Amino acid sequence: MLHIAIFGDLFVRAAILEETLRRHLEPLVGPLHCAAMELGYPDEPAQHNAEIREFVGRPEDVIALAADAEIILSHMPPITEAVLARLSGLRVIGCTRTEAVNINVAAATARGIPVMIAPGRNARAVAEFCVGLIVAETRNLARGHAALAQGIWRSDLYRFDRAPRELHGQTVGLIGFGHIGSLMPELLRPFGVRVLAYDPYVADAVFIARGAERVFDMDILLAESDIVSLHARVTPETRGFIGERQFRRMKRGAYFINTARGPLVDYDALYRALTDGHLAGAGLETFAQEPPTPDSPLLRLPNVTLTPHIAGCSQQSVYQAAEMVCTDIAAWIVGRTPVNCANPATLATALRWPL
């Protein structure tokens, strides 16, 4: 009987992970022995260290639950090199995230342990949210709500000099055209906007199929867009790549939207561009530090709409992530090639069923 350790939390529920894994594996290998626990995310904030990031929980709890496990199915537990060294029977890890940043993938690779992931699990959730954030920021929805909730009727928002522009006829520039960015043209098209997109790693055919105008120079996109929306991944190349020069390349009166990641942006430079009037406003879903400190100056600006990193949250994204990872674990067990493996070099040598 296969022994499974399941690490869910208050978002990716352990019961959903277990039900999905049983549905995929039991027809292949028979009954499973599952041990499960739920960590405190999102009520408990994610931690970071020099080895892994965005994890919740203690390594010793992972070792205790997974001591006899051949498979780990997880969301955010810390799976470090020291943890892996204690799990001698472990053969495969499923991580229901876009990237397995809470797992030392190099250490897993050295031990021949494949790590299955779920890239794009919440792409539609984030894309839908991004469109909502664009509308909320450019049309004063959040400002109107915040004032009225305090009993203030902001008739000044109807003055001509404060009136926003309709989205129709404007240009939206997308930086990054992967799982999320490539969904944006479809969602924006009904508004009648022009969509530009920049991503040097995506083939021409993808831009054409998705209905975006490809731009090969990010400076051109910045200069021509009324709204710039960020959809890139954090890499050594993109960390802090939107800063003072990029904000000054944007049109005066343009808007900046970030539903990607905080480390991509120099927020001090953004603050200056917002306070000196170069940018009309910003919609910010992610921050340099999360949660931001209560005295963060960005939280006090009147021309910013803020949300607490919730764009990727949907019930469908949980079920989709579980389905993607469990499908790949089942494929690996019967000798087929998984679709989404973070360390595919392990697939040629990793032990399969029977374990």
> What is the amino acid identity at position 237?
E
CB neighbours of residue 178 within 10 Å = 19
CA dist., res. 162 & res. 113, Å (int)? 58
- Whether residue 16 contacts residue 38, with contact meaning beta carbons closer than 8 Å, is answered with no
CA dist., res. 51 & res. 349, Å (int)? 25
CB neighbours of residue 350 within 10 Å = 17
Strand order from edge to edge, sheet including 115-116: 32-38, 2-8, 71-74, 92-95, 115-116
CA dist., res. 62 & res. 79, Å (int)? 7
| DSSP string of 245-267, one letter each residue | HHHHHSPTTEEEEE-S-GGGB-H
Give the residue numbers annotated as catalytic, written as ranges: 261, 290, 309
- Whether residue 17 contacts residue 64, with contact meaning beta carbons closer than 8 Å, is answered with no
- Whether residue 52 contacts residue 78, with contact meaning beta carbons closer than 8 Å, is answered with yes
**Which one, of 351, 353, 342, lies nearest residue 52 by Cα?**
342
